[in-house]
Amino acid sequence: MSQRRIWWPALRLRTILLTVLLFAAAMPAIGAVFLRTYENTLVRQTEAELTSQGAALAAAAANLWPGAVRDTTPADPDARDDPGYYRPEGASIDLRTTPVLPERPAAPPGPPADPKAEAAADVLEPIFDQTSRSTLASILIVDRRGVVVRGLGQGGTLAALPEIQAALHGRSRTVLRRNGAYHPRYSFEWLSRASAVRLHHARPILVEGRVVGALLLSRSPRALFRGVYQDRGKLLFGAGATILLLVLISGLVSRGVTRPIEALSAATRGVAMGQGTMPEAPATAAVEIRDLYRDFGVMAQAIAVRSRYLRDFAAAVSHEFKTPLAGITGAVELLDDHFDSMSDDERRRFLSNISADSARLSHLVGRLMDLARADMAMPEAGVAADLVPVARRVADAQGRDMTVALDLPADLPPVAAPETTLEAVLTTLVENARQAGARTVTLRARAVGGEVVMRVADDGPGVPPADRLRLFEPFFTSRREAGGTGLGLSIARSLLAASHGRIGLVDAEGEDGAVFEVALPRG
């Protein structure tokens, strides 16, 4: 039972890139809303406004307080140079950590208010009224016992509130409280924590170093959606500029990545069907895409070479196998039809022909397997072989009809190839020289740069000019009647290629015979 395939929409690369870019551009806005960064900034801005108002009003109240001694001494200009002269107050409210207290309760009845506080409230009333009209902040003033002398709940006491207690002990404090008068106006205001809260800032009034009263200022912060609405022009402009920039980036990505990939895909399909060639990479393509074009070109060329090789190889194998198979088939048919009328000599001759053709087929199959193994050979990491003992073994293995002369320096470096490869290649070259009629083979080797170059020269008739170009083709041989298969040099070339080596026929430089040059990297 086949596994059910999961459905997934097929998307173009440019669509995926544009979606990713849009999401990346929207991440700051999403984070600002859901992490409440922007909202927290609005709340802290409101706290800073209340703090500055409270500082100014508390200073005015301290100077206008009944019985306060005003300091008319001019400020020392040098004192302003003291680093401790300016003492700004930082924000203390954080929507993530600051608890939201219940709505401020109504002020219960309290003791009689301080007359001086009442007198100061009468003097400060116009200042508080004008300030409230501009800042929309609610301003209360309490005496040193927490009794309200100006504002909502006048005559009652707020001494139980923690912010008032802190102010009456000489410390400013800001708290968050629920806003009982809040009513949602927008559909998504539930996302904003600051919509239903109100900031309360209590600040002491100090006269000659003593706390004589306190100010309580409260105001609702700028709600998130109200702030977004007020800044809608800037936000829309920023969103439009971001989208325009993303469209330009998407176009650049499309020209540098998407279009070249689509062109490469079309060219690859054409090459697969045997039509056309790999095009050059577009000038606008990215560096990696250009490398991809180059790699695809190399792969297409390698596939074309391999395809031609397989086609020619199949034709050659068919031709090589056809002759012995035809001989075997003909001999079998003759024996089958005329076995009784043949003499013993004729039967033995036909059987001998069958045996010879069968042996040739077996030999061909063995050499084909050797060629296949050579074509599939892989480089061996860290391998290093000494050429001198290998060459001596090959020379010692020859009979009296063949002499192998060695001209190898004592300081010859090792080569990066297995000994089996070296022995197979040298044996093939010596055997080819023997079949060509040579009696002496000379092997010379020298270190040239990062390679070891060997020259194998014989005293035979040499290679005819017409055969030089086909010498390394599979099944090409001029000694077929002597049992040659034409695979020896092909196998040698494949074995050397697996070790990053090479072999070729070079000019004999006025001498008789053939000269092969083998180069291998140092080990």
pLDDT in tens, 435-445: 888 888 888 89
Q: Tokens in use for 356? A: 């010879």
- Predicted confidence at residue 216, as pLDDT, reads 95
pLDDT at 166: 95
In the chain, the largest separation of any two C-alpha atoms, in whole Å, equals: 156
Q: Is the pLDDT of residue 200 over 90?
A: yes
Residues of the chain with CATH 3.30.450.20: 13-66+90-230
Q: Residues 487, 368: contact at Cβ < 8 Å?
A: yes
What average pLDDT does the chain have? 80
- What's the rounded Cα separation, in Å, for the pair 158 and 175? 15
pTM, two decimals, is: 0.46
Q: Is the pLDDT of residue 342 over 90?
A: no
Helix (H) or strand (E) holding 198: strand 197-207
- Find out if CATH 3.30.450.20 is the number for domain 13-66+90-230: yes
Whether residue 358 has pLDDT greater than 50: yes
Homologous superfamily of domain range 379-521: Histidine kinase-like ATPase, C-terminal domain (3.30.565.10)
- Closest to 56 (Cα-Cα) out of 134, 112, 3: 134
pLDDT at 211 over 90: yes
CA distance 449 to 344: 66
d(CA 503, CA 432): 14
Predicted local distance difference test score (pLDDT) of residue 304: 74
> Which whole number is the average pLDDT over 41-65?
90
pLDDT band, residue 379 (cuts 50/70/90): low
Give the three-class secondary structure for 462. coil
Residue length of the chain: 523
Instruction: Give CA 43 to chain center in angstroms.
Output: 41
Residues of the chain with CATH 1.10.287.130: 287-374
Q: What is the pLDDT of residue 462?
A: 82
pLDDT, residue 1, reads: 45
Distance of CA 442 to the CA centre of its chain: 56
Alpha helix locations (H) across 254-381? 259-272, 287-338, 344-375
Smallest CA-to-CA distance from 98 within 171, 200, 190, 169 is with 200
Q: What residues does CATH 3.30.565.10 cover in the chain?
A: 379-521
Decide the pairing of beta strands 197-207 and 173-178.
antiparallel
* Exposed / middle / buried, residue 189 (Cβ in 10 Å: 0-12, 13-18, 19+): middle
The pLDDT confidence band at residue 222, using thresholds 50, 70 and 90, is low
For residue 147, what are the β-bridge partners? Answer: 157
pLDDT digits (tens, 9 = 90+) for 402-431: 888 888 888 889 888 888 888 888 888 888
- Taking each helix axis from N to C end, the angle separating 287-338 and 259-272, rounded to the nearest 10 degrees, works out to 10
> Residue 517 in contact with residue 457, Cβ under 8 Å?
no
CB environment 477-500: b (16+ within 10 A), e (fewer): bbeeeeebbbbbbbbbbbbbebbe
Q: What is the pLDDT of residue 186?
A: 62
What average pLDDT does the segment 299-325 reach? 70
Q: Is the pLDDT of residue 461 over 80?
A: yes
Amino acid at the residue 35: L
Better-predicted residue by pLDDT, 494 or 199: 199
Higher pLDDT, 108 or 82: 108
- Region 85-102: mean pLDDT is 84
Exposure b/e, 308-319, CB count within 10 A at least 16 = b: eeeeebeebeee
Residue 432 three-state SS = helix
As a whole number of Å, the end-to-end CA separation of the chain is 55
CATH classification for the domain delimited by 287-374, as one of 3.30.1490.100, 1.10.287.130, 3.40.50.150, 1.25.40.10: 1.10.287.130
Structural contact between residues 474 and 320, judged by C-beta atoms closer than 8 angstroms: no
